[in-house]
Structures are given as C-alpha cells and as structure tokens.
Amino acid sequence: MGKDVVALGELLVDFISEGTGPQGNPLFEANPGGAPCNVLALLSKHGRDVAFIGKVGDDFLGSMLAEKAAAQGIDLQGLFRDPAVPTTLAFVHKKENGDRDFSFYRNPGADVMLTAAEVESCRELIASARIFHFGTLSMTEQGCYEATKLAVDIAKGAGVICSFDPNYREPLWKSREDALAAIRYGLSVCDVLKISDNEIELLTGTQDIDEGIGRIVSEYNIPLVFATLGPDGSRAYYRGKCAAVHPGFRNPDTIETTGAGDTFCGSALGFVLKYGLDGLDADKLAETLEFANAAASVITTRKGALAVMPPLSEVEEYLRIRKQG
C-alpha cells in the first residue's frame, strides 16, 4: 500500500526572532521548517500516511531536523545526508507590518544537493503514492532541478496526482526569469495548484485574482486551483471556474505567519484525498476552504510550523468556537 502523500524539497532550519538578549543582541529560535515538510507534518497530524524526499547536512542541525520530522510521523526513507555541504538555514525577520523577510544561508545548502540517482532510488515510493507534492525551491540549482523533474516524471507516469506550490522566495534565485521558468514548469505538470496572490501578480501582472487565475488555467488547464489571499482568505477554482470563496479568520492571537500557507496547502490536500479530483462541487470546495483557512489561522498563533501543526480536533474546535461567536 502506497503513501497518501509523498513530497520532495527542502527541509531546513528556520531561525525565528525571539527578541533580544540581556546584552541587546538579537535572539533566534531554531525551528524545523521547509514548505514540503510542513505540508506533510499537517497531513500526518490529521491521520495521513506521508513520506519525504530531500537532503540535509551530515551535521547536528541535520540530525535535529530528522529527529523532529520523524517525531511528526513523517516517513524519512527518502531523506539523504550530505557529508560535505551543511544543512540549509533561513533567518526569518518579522517586519512591523507583519510581513516576513528571509535571509538564507544556502550557497549551496544540503537541500539543493539532492541528485537524480537518489530520486531514482525512491521510484517505488513516488509511483505508489496517491499525491506527489513539490515546489520551486528544489529547482534553484540545476542538479536538484533535474532530480525534481525526474520525480515528477515518475509520478506522472504512474498516474499519481501532482500538487504544486510555487513558494516563491526571491533571494534564492539568480534571476526572476529563472524563477518564472521553474514556476511555469510546475504549472505545466500539476493537477492541483496552491498559489498566493503575490505569485499570481508575479506571473500575470494583474492584481485581479479571478483574471489572473483565468489566464493561468487557460494556458495550463489545471483542474483544481487554490488561491490564498493572506488575511483576506482564499478561493477555489475548479475546471476553470471560481467555485468557492471563503474569508480569512483574523486571529487576535496571531504572532507570525510562518507556515500559514503550508498549513493551508496540507489541509487542502487532505480534502483532495477525501474527495478526489472528479465531481467536485461548490459545497465540497467551500468546506475545504473553511477548514484550510481555520488551520492556517491556528498556526499563526505559534512560532514555527513543522513541529507545532494543529491536530484535527484543534482545528474543528476552533471552527466550532468561531461559528458560535
């Protein structure tokens, strides 16, 4: 029996600001992170069988990441260790307006050292999955790009649903053109797309979400698209039409937004596992958006994401309270 979801990409350390120390120096907490693994952690918390393919350094931070990911119930048979290149680091700075600024230590980092040969050794793991999920950060270097494309080819050849989240991080790309090429590749092969409002504008040049998604779907014929709009909620597009819209849950306890998009994505994939891609309707997609928005709202009340994903019962209770209020 294959996994519900297999994801490929980055597993890294998010150093999140914790204020200043007694000497006035900035303090950072080392949180396990990386978008694909965050998605898997949420799904695992909700009872799904998941596995990760990626690479960390053969160092103490790599060991910490492996330990934390395994503790979330993620199968790590596809996790490789690099003896020469250290684990990738990201420092997350919170701006006054609530947005985040990222500083990456990845030139290179172990996550982009994943090879096609290593992916080939995971062929059966990918081919037997129900969903294969990936993003663009595994495509910033040529060798890892080829490894990612091989994984997608394996999944597509086996009839596995392919899920894609661009997860655009400008500092990690040599040029915007390279990033756009990788995003367009992902769009050309995915069956499920999770994309943010900023990424829609980046791709299409328009801030009109419906118009932007219309252009994307018209060109790439993606069956199911989830557009996330930050605190303004999300929209679902099925077979080219906007099928559901749900406002965001503004949470007074929000402290930072790291992992909110990944939490939404994992929740949405849970509903794809539940309902499939055929015969979706407005009610099912509205249910999906409501739950995914709620889960994303909950994760904003804690630092980090991978090790603190809300269990199913917590999201359901949050929704119950919000509906009563």
Question: Tell me, what CATH number does 140's domain have?
Answer: 3.40.1190.20
In the chain, the amino acid numbered 153 is: D
Question: Model-level pTM greater than 0.85?
Answer: yes
Contact by Cβ (8 Å): 6, 53:
yes
Q: Looking at the 3D structure of the chain, how many domains does it have?
A: 1
Q: Does residue 181 sit within a domain?
A: yes
Q: Does residue 226 sit within a domain?
A: yes
CA distance 38 to 214: 28
CA distance 258 to 95: 12
How far is the first Cα of the chain from the last one, in angstroms, to the nearest whole number? 43
Q: Could you list the residue range(s) of the whole structural domain that residue 275 is in?
A: 5-9+35-79+111-324
Cβ-based neighbours of 131, under 8 Å, separated by 6 or more: 4, 5, 6, 160, 161, 162, 163, 192, 269, 272, 273
Q: Does residue 288 sit within a domain?
A: yes
Burial class (CB in 10 A: 0-12, 13-18, 19+), 174: exposed
34: left (phi over 0), alpha (psi -120 to 50) or beta: left
Q: Does residue 222 sit within a domain?
A: yes
Burial class (CB in 10 A: 0-12, 13-18, 19+), 124: exposed
Per-residue pLDDT of the chain (325 residues; tens, 9 = 90+): 899 999 999 999 999 888 899 999 999 999 999 999 999 999 999 999 999 999 999 999 999 999 999 999 999 999 999 999 999 999 987 766 556 678 899 999 999 999 999 999 999 999 999 999 999 999 999 999 999 999 999 999 999 999 999 999 999 999 999 999 999 999 999 999 999 999 999 999 999 999 999 999 999 999 999 999 999 999 999 999 999 999 999 888 888 888 999 999 999 999 999 999 998 999 999 999 999 999 999 999 998 899 999 999 999 999 999 888 6
Q: Does residue 54 sit within a domain?
A: yes
DSSP class of residue 128 equals T
Structure tokens at 18: 């914790």
Starting at the edge strand found earlier in the chain, the sheet holding 224-228 runs: 75-82, 50-57, 5-8, 131-135, 161-165, 192-196, 224-228, 234-238, 241-246
Q: Does residue 85 sit within a domain?
A: no
